[in-house]
Amino acid sequence: MAAAPLASLLLLLLLAAASPLSAAGEAHPGYSSGEGTCTVAGDAAASPLEERGPGRIIDITHAYVPDLPAFAPGAVTGPVVRLKHSMADGSEYNLSELKMECHTGTHLDAPGHINQGHFAAGRDVDTLDLDVLNGPALLVDVPRNTNITAEAMEFLKIPKGVRRVLFRTLNTDRKLMWKKEGDFSYVGFTEDGAQWLVDNTDIKLVGVDYLSVAAYDHLISAHVVFFKKPDIIPVEGLKLDDVPAGIYNLHCLPLRLVGAEGSPVRCILIK
């Protein structure tokens, strides 16, 4: 399992300088060999107990606030936390309770979300592969005039061997995750974009910047393509504002919710 991606990655490093990527440039400047190396060099050079120093971790998770949009036209999330025991009311401790749909805010989908076969087979969030959820990732800029179509995917020229890609789109520019009400004019994967990704890349973690990996007109069909095999993890509602495109170490850690087909997730990038 490890041999093929590693071989691809070696190839990738050789390809990076010569490929049209260098010319396209804007989509993922991290690929230019100098900048890409610098981006994570500090992390790689650390000795066992050496501290990273502050400011090298970038939080790409939205905070759970009542004004988060919900995935229904005009819907809002509302409070997800309430204080169950309160020191102000005489308790010896404060104790909060959490209640939310598992696809609220920054979250991920398990294969059972839109595939009943996978759901029945127990492919819940607790079965998701930590080796996919943690590792090198590429943050790319999708052209702002399009959904993530086959054509857009082809344009991005993401090399074979890259397993985690965060797709920044017009949704980030429009600050849709900061709008109180759900907005279904967001962009996302079309069915043919999803199929192109499955057929032509090694991507297993697909990060997007609104609540669904799929454009609204392809809501079920694009999910169906991603979940044909249970090996792709969509991570949705990421906060990608003000993060330079490039290469990072990604850590995306969902809760171990046995039986659930989705989970809130905390995602960070480390330079």
Binders of a second copy among residues 91 to 150 (CB under 8 A) are 92-103, 105-106, 112-114, 116, 119, 126, 130-131, 134-136, 138
CA 90/CA 72 separation, integer angstroms: 40
Q: Answer whether 187's CB lies under 8 Å from 171's CB.
A: yes
- 118 is an active site residue: no
Angle of the 3-18 helix axis to the 33-44 helix axis, nearest 10: 140
Residues with Cβ within 8 Å of residue 225, at least 6 apart in sequence: 191, 194, 195, 198
237: left (phi over 0), alpha (psi -120 to 50) or beta: left
Task: Say which of 103, 107, 113, 223 is annotated catalytic.
Answer: 113
Residue 41 or 144: the one with the smaller Cβ distance to a second copy is 41
Footprint on residues 183-222 left by a second copy (CB under 8 A): 220
37 contributes a contact to a second copy by CB under 8 A: yes
What is the DSSP track for 2-23? Answer: -HHHHHHHHHHHHHHHHSTHHH
Least separation in angstroms between residue 128's CB and a second copy is 11
Work out which of 161, 182, 188, 237 binds a second copy, going by CB under 8 A. 161
Work out which of 70, 80, 233, 243 binds a second copy, going by CB under 8 A. 80
In this chain, which stretch among 77-85, 145-153, 169-177, 180-188 interacts with a second copy, using CB under 8 A? 77-85
Residues recognised as catalytic: 113
